[in-house]
Amino acid sequence: MKLFITGGTGYIGQAVARKAIGRGHHVTALVRQDTSAAASALARLGVKLHPGDLREPQSFAAAAGAADGVVHTASTNDASAAATDEVSVVAMLSHLRPGSVFVYTSGIWVYGNTNGKLATEASALSPTPLVAWRPVVEQRVQALAANRSIAAVILRPAMVHGYGGGVFGMLAGMAQQIGGVKIIGDSRNSWPAVHVDDLAIAYLLALEQAAKGNGQVTGQIFNVTAEEAVAVTEIGEAIRASVGADRIELWPLDDARQSLGAFADALALDQTVSGQLARRILAWEPQGPGLIADLSMQTYFQQSSGA
């Protein structure tokens, strides 16, 4: 298939591009700078680079529309994220031809606190403020895709780990700077998790099966969760040991908000989320290391600090 990936040099986008090339797809990736180290690494794999800006849909919508399938992983990750995401999604779906595939990235934070209960795709949504806009965009994707006979699939990834990246790389960097791991809230919460390589495979399984007309996939939402709940205290200890920090300290939520804004509320979530639907319908079988084992690898945060 001819694939177009937004966020090609991002944490998730790079993984999807690598796995897609490995599965024989022809990949074009949206990149802000085609001369960056990450872009050059993609080019060496055989990925075609398409320079563009997520804030300027006219710079890439036509290229996306020429593909058999689009995997949308990009985000501005700033105050413009909601508006930019919706505009870019509408632009790409408006250019895609009927019968093509569109895979949209949401996330498990749309469930909010699950209060010790196992959340599934059928659970009510109570998004944390940082992603309060996502359910509306999910619905826009489903409606516009259905109207244009495009096979849309929405993925809600868990907390993504692997290769020293993502939130965990950020937490490690903070720990290295202050000599301690800061845990927001009362430390009794848990986070669902998935390795970035396993997540990438889930994207491709969803895309490939939707392209084949699998009615159990088209128009559906899937949680991509390898581990339903990992205790944040265990996560903090694994990070502490890996970076050689000397302590773990609690960070009151109100104080954390002063530094992190709404991101603090997201990190304070207590979630248990099922990934069984993806396993059953997509035949997705995670192969990567679990979160604690991954964080405990000596090279994990060395890669993070060298990125």
DSSP conformational letter for 97: P
For strand 26-31 and strand 190-195, is the pairing parallel, antiparallel, or unpaired?
A: unpaired
- Inform me whether the pLDDT recorded for 307 exceeds 70: no
**Parallel/antiparallel/unpaired status of strands 26-31 and 48-51:** parallel
Handedness of CA 43, 285, 229, 74 (dihedral sign): positive
Residue ranges matching CATH 3.90.25 in the chain: 163-192+227-273+287-306
Strand partners, 2: 26
Q: Is the pLDDT of residue 300 over 70?
A: no
Q: Is the confidence at residue 65, as pLDDT, over 70?
A: yes
User: 205: which 2 tokens?
Assistant: 């399984």
Q: How confident is the model over 125-150, as pLDDT tens digits?
A: 999 999 999 999 999 999 999 999 99
Q: Which of 106-115, 169-178, 266-275 has the lowest mean pLDDT?
A: 169-178
Q: What is the pLDDT of residue 203?
A: 98
Residue count of the chain, please give it: 307
pLDDT exceeds 50 at position 157: yes
> Domain 2-160+193-224's class?
alpha beta
Dist CA 303 CA 294 (whole Å) = 12
Report pTM: 0.95
Per CATH, which fold does 163-192+227-273+287-306 belong to? Answer: UDP-galactose 4-epimerase; domain 1 (3.90.25)
Annotate 152-181 with three-state secondary structure.
EEEEEECEEECCCCHHHHHHHHHHHHHCEE
Q: How far is CA 197 from the centre of its chain?
A: 11
Q: What is the pLDDT at residue 153?
A: 98
Is 192's pLDDT higher than 60? yes
